[in-house]
Amino acid sequence: MVQLKRLSIWIGYLVVMLVLPQFFDSILSVSIFNQMAIAIVFALSYNMLLGQGGMLSFGHAVYFGFGGFLAVHTLIMIEFETVYFSILFIPLIGGVFGLLAAIFIGSFSTHKAGTVFAMISLGMGELIAASSLIFVGFFGGEAGISGDRTYGPPFFGVEFLRDVEIYYVAVFWVFIATVFMYLFTQTPAGRMANAVRDNPERAEFIGYSARKVRFISFCAAGLFAGIAGGLFALNYEFITEETLNATTSGRVLLMAYIGGLGYFIGPIVGAVILTLMNSLLSNYSDLWMLYLGVMFLLTVLFLPRGFAGFIMMHQVAWVRGTIKQLALPYLLTGVPALLVMLSAIALIEMSHVEADVLQFIGFTLEPALLTDWLMVGIVGTGSLFAVRKSLPRLRDAWDSANTIPSEGGS
């Protein structure tokens, strides 16, 4: 039964990924799906470090970027017929080099977890990013390097001219990578990663070198980050220093954290949310990084277990069938909360916009008019008041949906 259920989740995962382009087939959406695919593998690999192994890395982009650079170099070699194989296997090249980089750096960075590990990861990240501007032959300097995926031999007639073809290549690798990363959690090495995360001292008294346990997770994380980097190379056909610098390292941390470190699917959720925000919001506002930062802050403060944790919080109510009781209170708090958020965004955008009018979700606002400021302010304050009013009711509903009534009754 349990196995059947698990199998159906995996099949569902694959089917959803496969049919997505049937429903959203614009060039923009396919490009977003490709970014999501890359982000999912990258974020899952990051969680092998932080969520499963307790290693806070500020430099995970090194393996992503390094794998990506080697993948582009391989594309170039295919183009010049130095090597001859289908570009379908490019992500594997990225993986191999991500792994090699992880073996090298992990050999000294995994001695300790905690601050020492975090600082080494930061230092290595800076070091590699800086050297990418020095070794111009390999990294291509600021401009980066580019290849062309269409020179490789066709794979059963597919020549990889279109993004959607790359999407299916990505789905293939995302699925395989997800399965293997999941299976890793089900092995002795994967379980010991959890044990060492929880209590490295005790792990040593049941026969395990905490260092070696960390090293194995670290290498696995490097391998899969490299695969993600290879997917990136295939998708964009060029790569720059940005893929291995601190910005990219920070973004993958955000993805995993916002999604939820404690759950296998957490990073997947985070990758989807952040990619969507990144590509959609950035079309509407150049302040989207600010909103991202605020969202991260709110997640850390109010959803410490991420979005996946928030969903899982409802398991008890779901099983008990009391989840229905939550619908109305959620609505009564959620709608005003949404209004608070929108008003805040409107105010920020009004003070930021340079044009005379601001088009905001169907409304036309004029920053020059005091009345517009007042109106938005009043909506925002009123909604905030409504949130505060409705919160106790939500809390009560939550408690009654989650407490098991005593047998005796009254």
Partner 1 sequence: MAILTLNNVQKNFGETAIIRGVSLDIEEGEKHAIIGPNGAGKSTLFHLISGLYKVSAGSITFKESEIQDKAPYEISRLGLARSFQVTNIFQRMNVFENIRCALFWSKGYRYSFWHLLGRQKELNEQAMHVLEQIGLTDKALFPSGELAYAQQRALELGIAIASGAELIMLDEPAAGMSHSEAETSVQLIHKITEGKTLIMVEHDMNIVFNVADRISVLVYGEVIATDSPENIRSNASVQEAYLGEVATSA
Residues that bind partner 1 (CB under 8 A): 183-184, 186-192, 194-195, 197-199, 201-209, 212-213, 216, 220
109 vs 245, beta carbon nearer partner 1: 109
45 vs 243, beta carbon nearer partner 1: 45
- Shortest separation between residue 208's beta carbon and partner 1, angstroms: 6
- Shortest separation between residue 51's beta carbon and partner 1, angstroms: 11
169 vs 196, beta carbon nearer partner 1: 196
189 vs 281, beta carbon nearer partner 1: 189
25 vs 198, beta carbon nearer partner 1: 198
87 vs 213, beta carbon nearer partner 1: 213
HEC secondary structure over the chain: CHHHHHHHHHHHHHHHHHHHHHHCCCHHHHHHHHHHHHHHHHHHHHHHHHHHHCCCCCCCHHHHHHHHHHHHHHHHHHHCCCCCCCHHHHHHHHHHHHHHHHHHHHHHHCCCCHHHHHHHHHHHHHHHHHHHCCCHHHHCHHHCEECCHHHCCCECCECCCCHHHHHHHHHHHHHHHHHHHHHHHCCHHHHHHHHHHHCHHHHHCCCCCHHHHHHHHHHHHHHHHHHHHHHHHHHHCEECHHHHCHHHHHHHHHHHHHHCCCCCCHHHHHHHHHHHHHHHHHHHCCCHHHHHHHHHHHHHHHCCCHHHHHHHCCHHHHHHCCCHHHHHHHHHHHHHHHHHHHHHHHHHHHHHCCCCCEEECCEEECCCCHHHHHHHHHHHHHHHHHHHHHHHHHHHHHHHHHCCCCCCCC
- Shortest separation between residue 124's beta carbon and partner 1, angstroms: 24
- Shortest separation between residue 204's beta carbon and partner 1, angstroms: 4
- Shortest separation between residue 50's beta carbon and partner 1, angstroms: 13
- Shortest separation between residue 190's beta carbon and partner 1, angstroms: 7
175 vs 184, beta carbon nearer partner 1: 184
- Shortest separation between residue 220's beta carbon and partner 1, angstroms: 7
